[in-house]
Amino acid sequence: MTKEKNQTTGNDGGQKEEKTKGKKKFDKPFKQAGGTYFHYGEIIGRKNVFVTKEYMDLVANAIKLAELKMDIKNLAYVVMPNFFLWLFKLPENQDNPGKILAEVKGQVAIEIMKNLRAEIKDGAYEIFELFKGNERVMRSTPQKILWTFEAQAKNFEENKRYKVWTPKTYTLPINDDKAIQEKSDRIMGTPLSERWKLVETVEKYPYLYLSEDLQDIDTLKLRLDASVPAKQTLQIA
């Protein structure tokens, strides 16, 4: 499993920094008990893996399971053809988002490999109906995807035969309401973006979730305490 890169930036909702005698000094530590984090996870080589229901469900279900098993609070996420965006809050007794990400991405990677081998043996899965006819969501054969994972692994010293995730993609601590809104807006807008044009309205994209807390962000004070349940009015598959 790759180590997550702890990037910080004041403009991106993370930690502001100042230079002191040539060293960077952050106003808050990256690890924050009960902290809120934004993560971008990308398939290595930007291969369009998440283009069938079988693969998209892997990410969505792993994120939902993390909420049940590790007591995090899912605020928002979206699963796209070759990456996912995730905004989540740790419980007050945890301060390490890397542990959560390692668990989720590690399990998804294992299941991706199982699916690829199953496709090679039994036939390729059918592309998700929403993506059919969209030239932006072309998919390589399972054999070629597997070959890419094997070829990419040779570029690293981890002594692994396959590499599924791009290493050192960013994880940002989010420290204010404005940054939370910016990240939730990014998640909501991704399926609609010029790059993808997957749907005309966000409600039509089934692999996107926004908690009620964030749906009410413009009219109510954010309720980010993990003890406050949020109703899921935008459901994923």
The predicted-structure confidence for 6-18, as pLDDT tens digits, reads as follows 443 333 333 444 4
How many CB atoms within 10 Å of residue 100?
Answer: 24
d(CA 233, CA 237): 13
Q: Which of 31, 32, 140 is nearest to 82 (CA)?
A: 140
What pLDDT is stored for residue 29 in this prediction?
Answer: 84
Which residues of the chain have a pLDDT value below 70? 1-28, 216-237
Q: Is 91 exposed, middle or buried (0-12, 13-18, 19+ CB in 10 A)?
A: middle
d(CA 128, CA 79): 13
Whole-prediction pTM? 0.80
What pLDDT is stored for residue 51 in this prediction?
Answer: 96
What pLDDT is stored for residue 157 in this prediction?
Answer: 85
What pLDDT is stored for residue 16 in this prediction?
Answer: 41
Q: Is 96 exposed, middle or buried (0-12, 13-18, 19+ CB in 10 A)?
A: middle
DSSP 125: P
For the stretch 172-197, pLDDT in tens is 999 888 999 999 999 999 999 999 99
What pLDDT is stored for residue 236 in this prediction?
Answer: 33
What pLDDT is stored for residue 191 in this prediction?
Answer: 95
Architecture of domain 5-215: 2-Layer Sandwich (3.30)
d(CA 85, CA 48): 15
Q: Two tokens at 201? A: 């309205």
Q: What Rg, from alpha-carbon coordinates, does the chain have?
A: 18
